[in-house]
Amino acid sequence: MGEGVRRAVTWIAAGVVAVPIVLALRMNRPRPTLWSGLGELPPCDGFDFPVGAPDGDGYYDAQPFGRNYHLGNDWNGNGGGDSDLGDPVYAVANGVVGHTRDHHGGWGRVLRIVHACGVESLYAHLDTLEVPVGVTVRRGQRIGTIGTAHGVYRAHLHFELRTQPLPLGGGYAADTTGFLDPTAYIRAHRPLR
């Protein structure tokens, strides 16, 4: 493998088939990747926001990446409270759904999408999961709805971007290795319109 390419050993063992994958994010070049029989990942052609697509209109980030060691963004509707319960959640980029599962507890329903540019998007606390594992999704495609993790929280979307195949984790950590600031990354990788 060339310099700057890292090889991931496996995806998480909790409900996801172990899948080796080569991450070439830092090399800034496309990489065809097969994902355990799911086929080749569709090319990345930019990123949109996961709510209020494509620009996040009508939503705000109540807990940004890094604040209180938060590893993602918490997207809330501008109306506050549970006003966004059931609102649509969209795929931020083209990819293949690699994981859908109700983890209960503080995570609730979680959906993970693998993208060909070496990034994984994670959507948590969902009310509904609308795409199954193995399905190819397109940027802007509806994949679920905002939930409350079965009443654990007020309605919001917990959203993460990852550069490594990591276990689900706890959503908070001082070490951000393998995580991206979702808002900064999306803003830097908007599609050409």
Least confident of 23-37, 107-121, 163-177: 23-37
| Structure-model confidence comparison of residues 57 and 11, the more confident one | 57
With CA atoms as reference, report the closest residue to 103 among 169, 188, 159, 173: 169
**Gap between the Cα atoms of 109 and 86, Å rounded:** 13
Percent of the chain with pLDDT over 90: 74
Helix H or strand E segment including 188: helix 182-188
Domains belonging to the chain, first-starting first, are 42-188 (2.70.70.10)
Taking only the tens place, the pLDDT of each residue in 110-151 is 999 999 998 999 999 999 999 999 999 999 999 999 999 999
User: Distance of CA 49 to CAs 160, 161, 172, Å?
Assistant: 11, 12, 21
With CA atoms as reference, report the closest residue to 125 among 86, 78, 79: 86
**Gap between the Cα atoms of 150 and 152, Å rounded:** 6
Entry pTM: 0.81
What confidence score (pLDDT) does residue 36 get?
Answer: 54
